[in-house]
A and B are shown apart, each in its own frame.
Chain A
Amino acid sequence: MSPDLESITDTGNKISRRAQITGTANITLGGKTVIQSDVVLRGDLHRLPQRKEDGTMERTPTAISIGRYTVISSGCVLRPPGRNSGGTWRYYGMKVGDNVFVGPNTILSSASISSHVHIGASCTLGDFSIINSNVKILPGTVVPALMVVPPGVVLGGQPARVVGELGEGWGGGGNGVGGGEEAWTEGGELRELVRAIR
């Protein structure tokens, strides 16, 4: 671990010192998650706290929550989605699951991304898009706003279309067992990858 580049939080998150994070109080990381350099996390774009029925203000809601063993590569932008609702513009929370790999220079504004999703480089995921688990998104894909992606498919194109389905073997193998095999696979457990990044 080179102390200049990364810092490790209590729960084992590896966050580059050159990550560009705003509104840290509104971001939760599940642990063992990697945030590489020049990643923008817009935690300041949160839903404004509402006044509860008993007159007190609620806590500021979480803007971005990221699960365990998720890797956000350099140059990515994570920006919570927002829309006009009830006469004002509101931002909504953004959830990213476990074992998600996000390639470099990808821009995410999704409402939710489930676990075991592999997102290639230079993708754009529009506002309020929902990605179900076990999805592979090819590099350069532009997922339109409000798109709901079913589980177990391959997405590609500009705008995104389902270009294939993932078979049974998706995410299998790897896990560091079996000598010459790769330590991790797309859509599989990213524990070994997280461990290798320093």
Chain B
Amino acid sequence: MATPQPTASLRPTPPKRASTVKPILPPPPSTIHPTAVIASHAVLSGTHPITIGAHCIIHPYARIVSAEGPVELQEGVVVWEHGIIEGRGEGVRIGRGVIVESGARIEGEVGEGSLVGQGSIIGVGSVVGKHCKLAPRTILEPQTRIPDFTVVYGANNARRVDTTVRDKAETMTAREKGQQRQMDALRKLVPGNTAKWMT
């Protein structure tokens, strides 16, 4: 194996060139809690208001788009890279402590404590209940309703009820504690640039 080279050392030095990025639009009217972490490569765009609650973490290359409706992220929401939240109609509300994994696309409402797996799509006007879990690559058609504590999994969107979390309070607290630790670690590792989006 050749000597590992950090990708930063490029040769020859890339020539300076004009940026092909479109002219930057004014940032959306957003209310961002000062404890939220928004990476500088995350994108907030649109014209409707965006509300980001306390302790939220928006990873680099995640997108929050309010072009067609307002977006509200409640306390402690994590949006991973390539995750997209698009406001539609009356608005999209993401509940407290929801994790939106890589490559997921959300155009509907998601209740408190739910997990949206990698590459999942939640269609327009869908409502996902509290403490649900969507397995990776789950695709919910528009206007789907998922009751609380449901797990959606597999190629045919099979559903079952997560009775362990529903009936045992200690499981729920353990899960919340674990998530809290993950968020603490992420807050140290993900460089935030929240000031960029403050209006």
Contacts and interface: CB of A to CB of B under 8 A. Distances in A.
Contact of B102 (A25, A30, A107, A159): A107
Contacts, number: 122
A67 B1 contact: yes
Contacts of A152: none
A77 B2 contact: no
Given A87-B181, A89-B184, A158-B137, A27 B6 contact: yes
Nearest to B177: A84
A25 B81 contact: no
Contacts of B41: 20, 22
Contact of B61 (A9, A40, A45): A40
Contacts of B135: 142, 158-159
A126 B118 CA distance: 9
Main secondary structure of the interface of B (DSSP, over half): loop
A20 B39 CA distance: 13
B183 to A, nearest CB: 8
Contacts of A88: 181, 184-185
B178 A158 contact: no
Interface centre among B9, B14, B82, B135 (most CB of A within 10 A): B82
Given A77-B103, A82-B182, A22 B136 contact: no
B7 A9 contact: yes
Interface in B149-194: 153-155, 178, 181-182, 184-186, 188-191
Nearest to B181: A89
Contact of B82 (A13, A40, A65): A40
A65 B8 CA distance: 15
B13 to A, nearest CB: 9
A65 B185 CA distance: 22
Contact of B81 (A17, A42, A68, A122): A42
Contacts of B188: 48
B73 to A, nearest CB: 21
B189 A44 contact: yes
Contacts of A84: 178, 181-182
Contacts of A142: 135-137
Contact of B4 (A65, A124, A140, A158): A65
Contacts of A46: 189
Nearest to B183: A89
Contact of B119 (A3, A20, A48, A107): A107
B7 A13 contact: yes
A20 B61 contact: yes
B10 A7 contact: yes
Contacts of A65: 4
A29 B39 CA distance: 25
A94 B192 CA distance: 24
B7 A24 contact: yes
Interface of A: 3-4, 7-11, 13, 15, 17, 20-22, 24-25, 27-31, 40, 42, 44-46, 48, 65, 67-68, 75, 77, 79, 82, 84, 87-91, 105, 107, 122, 124, 126, 140, 142, 157-159
28 contacts: A3-B14, A8-B10, A9-B5, A9-B7, A9-B10, A10-B9, A10-B11, A13-B5, A20-B61, A25-B8, A27-B7, A28-B4, A29-B4, A31-B5, A40-B81, A42-B81, A44-B190, A48-B188, A65-B4, A77-B102, A82-B182, A87-B181, A105-B103, A107-B103, A107-B136, A142-B137, A158-B137, A158-B155
What are the 9 closest A-B residue pairs judged by CB atoms, nearest first? A28-B4, A89-B185, A124-B136, A89-B182, A158-B155, A31-B2, A89-B181, A107-B118, A77-B102
Given A20-B41, A42-B81, 13 more contacts: A9-B5, A27-B7, A30-B2, A40-B61, A45-B189, A67-B1, A77-B102, A89-B178, A91-B185, A122-B119, A122-B137, A124-B136, A157-B155
